[in-house]
């Protein structure tokens, strides 16, 4: 269960942090408290309980590592299932976890 929370935490962070860094605030008030920012975000998407009730996630992103550019695609399903595909052109890796075995 601990790993599932970690996976969901990474997915939430990978989506929210870029939004917070790159999207200018359109709110009339100046939000500086991170807890207030997350609270308003959760309210805007239907509440934290709705987010916790989600059982699956799919994230696609562009990636730049050590001068290589490519994509990363991640699928996850509670409680612990995960598949990730990384494609950097000259390097490709698929990994996952079926709840019993991790594989690459």
Is 88 in contact with 66 (CB distance < 8 Å)? no
Give strand pairing partners of 46. Answer: none
Provide CB contacts within 8 A for 69, sequence distance 6+.
62, 63, 88, 89
pLDDT by position in tens, the chain (length 104):
445 445 555 565 666 565 555 555 554 567 888 999 989 999 998 998 988 899 999 999 999 989 999 999 999 999 899 999 999 999 999 999 998 999 99
pLDDT for the residue numbered 14: 60
Provide CB contacts within 8 A for 52, sequence distance 6+.
none
Whether pTM > 0.75 for this model: the answer is no
Residue ranges covered by each domain of the chain: 2-103
Please give the DSSP secondary-structure letter assigned to residue 82.
Answer: E
Give strand pairing partners of 43. Answer: none
Query: Within 13 A of 87's CA, how many CA atoms are on the CB side?
Result: 8
CA gap 77, 75 in Å, rounded: 7
């Amino acid at each position: 269960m601990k790993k599932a929370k970690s996976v969901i935490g990474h997915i939430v962070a990978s989506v929210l942090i870029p939004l917070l860094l790159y999207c200018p605030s359109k709110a009339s008030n100046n939000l500086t408290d991170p807890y207030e920012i997350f609270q308003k975000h959760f309210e805007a998407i239907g509440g934290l309980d709705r987010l916790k009730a989600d059982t699956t996630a799919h994230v696609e992103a562009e990636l730049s590592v050590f001068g290589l550019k490519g994509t990363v695609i991640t699928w996850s399903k509670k409680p612990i299932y995960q598949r990730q595909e990384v494609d950097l052109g000259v390097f490709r890796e698929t990994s996952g976890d079926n709840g019993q075995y991790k594989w690459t």
